[in-house]
Amino acid sequence: MLPEHLILLRDLVLKKLEYSLTDSQLQQFSLYADLLMDWNQKINLTSIVEPREIVVKHFLDSLTLMPWINGDKVADIGTGAGFPGIPLKIVYPDKNFVLIDSLAKRLDFLNVVIQKIDLNKIETIHSRAEDFGRNNQYRSSFDTVVSRAVAKLPVLLEYSIPLLRVGGVFLAAKGSQGDEEVAESGNALSLLGAEIKDICKLNLGEGADNRAIIIIEKIKPTPSIYPRKPGTPAKKPL
C-alpha cells in the first residue's frame, strides 16, 4: 500500500475506534493488502480491490468488532479472505485465533498471509461450518465467535452458537438489513441457548455507512442436535 493509504488507515482507526495502530501493525496491514491484491488476480477473494476501499470496507470494518472481543479464544466462521479475523489478530497478537472456511484455496492465501506478516497463535481450518460445530475438539470452547458477510443471522446463529462456551459472545457484522434479520432470529436464539445483548449501529463513511454489530451471548448449553447436517441450516433456517 502507498503511504497515503496507511495514513488513512491510521487516522480512521484513531478517529472511529479511538485505537492507535503501531508502525509495525500498519506495515502488517500494508503487506496484507498487497498480498490480497496480488492473489485476487489468481483466485476470487474479493470484489473490493481499490486500496482506499480495502482500508475502509475491509480493514476498518473488521476492526469495529474490537470493543467486544472477549477472552482468549476467537473463531472466525466463513473467514473468506481473512475478514474480520486477520485484522483483529493484528491488533490482538496474544489471543488465539482460528479461521474457518470451506474453500481450500482461500486458506492457501491466508496461510501465506500468516507467514508473511509474521502472525503467531493462529490457525486455519478447512471445514464446513456445520462440521466444525460438531467437532468435539472445538465445540463449546471459544470465548468469542465472529462472522462477516456469510449468511443471514438465523443461519449464522446455528453455525456459531454451538462453538461458544456458556457466557461467550457471538459478534455478527451486518449492514442495513440487521434489524430485519434480528426480527427473524427469535426461534433460533431460543433453540440454541442465546440472547441478543445489544445492537451497535455505525456509520464509517467512505461508502461504508449503515453498519450494525449484533452482540449475542450464549446463556445455556446448545442441544447436541445443532448444528444440523451440512446444507440444512441454509435450506431450513431455525
Residue 227: which CATH number? Answer: 3.40.50.150
Question: 145 and 74 in contact (C-beta within 8 Å)?
Answer: yes
Residue that is written with C-alpha cell 503501531 in the block: 22
Tell which phi-psi region holds residue 149, choosing left (phi > 0), alpha (psi between -120 and 50) or beta.
left
**Percent of the chain topping pLDDT 70:** 98
> Biggest alpha carbon distance in the chain?
51
Report CA torsion sign: 183, 185, 190, 195: negative
Residue range 90-137, pLDDT digits in tens: 999 999 999 999 999 999 999 999 999 999 999 999 999 999 999 999
Please choose, from the candidates 136, 221, 212, the residue with its C-alpha nearest in 3D space to the C-alpha of residue 178: 212
Q: Is residue 52 part of a domain?
A: no
Residues 6+ apart with CB under 8 A from 117: 28, 31, 32, 90
Residue 219 is assigned to a structural domain of this protein? yes
Position 141 in a domain: yes
pLDDT band at 207 (very low <50, low <70, confident <90, very high): low
Is residue 63 a contact partner of residue 87, using CB atoms and an 8 Å limit? yes
Q: Which tens digits make up the pLDDT trace of 58-72? A: 999 999 999 999 999
pLDDT of residue 150: 78
Distances (CA, A) of 166 to 19, 100, 122, 140: 29, 21, 23, 7
Rounded-to-integer distance, Cα 133 and Cα 222, Å: 11
The average pLDDT across 85-90 equals 98
Task: Specify the number of domains making up the chain.
Answer: 1
Please indicate, yes or no, if residue 140 is contained in any of the structural domains.
Answer: yes
pLDDT in tens, 148-205: 877 899 999 999 999 999 999 999 998 777 788 999 999 999 999 999 999 998 877 6
Over 90: is that where the pLDDT of 142 sits?
yes
Task: Supply the pLDDT for residue 31.
Answer: 97
DSSP 222: P
Task: At 48, give phi and psi (nearest 5°).
Answer: -95, 105
Closest by CA to 175, choosing from 57, 18, 83, is: 57
Strand partners of residue 173: 148, 213
Q: What is the mean pLDDT of residues 10-18?
A: 93
Span 65-91, average pLDDT: 97
Domain presence at residue 36: no
Q: Is the pLDDT of residue 208 over 90?
A: no
Phi, psi of 147, deg, nearest 5: -160, 145
Residues composing the chain: 238
d(CA 26, CA 49): 18
* Residue 208 is assigned to a structural domain of this protein: yes
In a domain, 5, yes or no: no
Name the burial class of residue 174, with classes exposed (0-12), middle (13-18) and buried (19+) by CB atoms within 10 angstroms of its CB.
buried
User: What range defines the domain where residue 216 resides?
Assistant: 57-235
Q: Are the CB atoms for 111 and 118 separated by under 8 Å?
A: no
Q: Is residue 45 part of a domain?
A: no
- The percentage of residues in the chain with a pLDDT greater than 90, rounded to a whole number, is 84
Question: Smallest Cα–Cα separation from 156: which of 208, 210, 227, 88?
Answer: 227
Q: State mean pLDDT over 138-155.
A: 93
